[in-house]
Amino acid sequence: MPTGSVSPTIVGAGAVGLALGARLAGAGHRVRFVTRRREVADALRREGLVAEDAVSGAVARHAVEAAAWEDLPPSFLEPPILLCTRGDVVGEVAAELAERAPEADVVTFQNDVGYEEVAARHLRHVIGGVWRETCTRLGDASVRFLTGRPGRAIVGLHPEGEQPAVRALASLLESASIRTGVSRRIAEDKWLKLCVNLMSAPNALVRREDHTTEAFVEVKARLLEEARDLLRAAGITAASCDGADRSLDEEIAHQRAALGAGTSARTLALYNQVWAALETGGSLEADHYHERMLALARGLGRAAPQNQRVLDVLRAAARERRGAESEAAASLLVSDA
């Protein structure tokens, strides 16, 4: 699978799929999108894929190919197939791919754990993917991320090990300015990213002036501490394959040091998926991350009060349409009493 001959297929045009497609197309690769809705495919073909830089607002437009499932030509699916759909449709899409491209390498880029196993029920060749870059879908054919900086991803054979296809995939991503780690135990990297994602909700919920308060950094540190302790009790390892991403202990220390370092408040406008969902009424996704921790806690006969509190506030804010940056940091912090 030499990089120069690859025409990757991206299934799904959400934030990750669009950001990944923009980086690959910007590097000169021929990119193909498969979408669930015909109007999305039409927009990608008609308008091109529009990437907006989160700092400068500069816009780049990339020509891509696109087709909806119902209009898919027989030869359209070319490996590697990068599966960037919502988690709840992975099984359905994997079953469809098993019919259309049973021997293709399929890469699962969902922001959660367990979807590699779901895909592997239908497919022979599953590679787990971790996307570690904040991006926001702005429209059917547009996405915002830091276009002027390298991206970050991790890939690894499911359930573990290594094969040439994984190295070739990493080379493809590297060619598109995506710093890519290769993991022999991809589940460890997936769990680490899931834990980091627990901070997405407070980052989006808490009003901007509270980002320089002790309560704000303490909420995030406690979320991570609960996750770390639950995973240890369950015998689950969350780790970076190459040391390029902070460990949970390092991330906890980093969050607590942020206030003194003056880095707890972002200099850029927030644009994560949870922020967008709170503003538009879209799917939260982040609620599933906290649910994952609470399920672990129940299985262990433990409590996870900080994760429960953030989940409750997140769902109430979404239900009542309060919008992003609407909560006081102290309202998310569980009392020590």
Q: What is the pLDDT of residue 223?
A: 98
Give the integer Cα–Cα distance in Å for 86 and 311.
20
Q: What is the CATH number of domain 7-184?
A: 3.40.50.720
The reply to whether 191-332 shares the fold of 7-184 is no
Evaluate if residue 4 carries a pLDDT over 50: no
Cα–Cα separations (whole angstroms), residue 259 to 98, 196, 198, 241, 272: 50, 18, 19, 29, 21
Q: What is the pLDDT of residue 27?
A: 96
Give the integer Cα–Cα distance in Å for 249 and 225.
8
- What is the rounded average pLDDT of the residues 92-112? 95
Evaluate if residue 3 carries a pLDDT over 50: no
Evaluate if residue 6 carries a pLDDT over 80: no
Cα–Cα separations (whole angstroms), residue 250 to 105, 196, 202, 211, 254: 34, 11, 19, 20, 6
pLDDT in tens, 177-186: 999 999 999 9
- If one compares 87 and 335, the residue with the highest pLDDT of the two is 87
pLDDT in tens, 27-39: 999 999 999 999 9
When the pLDDT of each residue in the chain is averaged and rounded to a whole number, the result is 94
Evaluate if residue 287 carries a pLDDT over 60: yes
The pLDDT > 90 percentage for the chain reads: 90
pLDDT in tens, 259-279: 999 999 877 766 688 988 999
pLDDT in tens, 68-83: 999 999 889 999 999 9
11 DSSP assignment = E
Q: Which residues pair with 126 in a beta bridge?
A: 106
Evaluate if residue 173 carries a pLDDT over 80: yes
pLDDT in tens, 212-246: 999 999 999 999 999 999 999 999 999 999 999 99
Parse the chain into domains and list their residue ranges: 7-184, 191-332
148 DSSP assignment = T
Query: In the CATH scheme, what is the homologous superfamily, with its name and number, of domain 191-332?
Result: N-(1-d-carboxylethyl)-l-norvaline Dehydrogenase; domain 2 (1.10.1040.10)
pLDDT in tens, 147-161: 999 999 999 999 999
Query: Could you give the count of Cα atoms lying within 13 Å of 136 in the half-sphere of its Cβ?
Result: 21
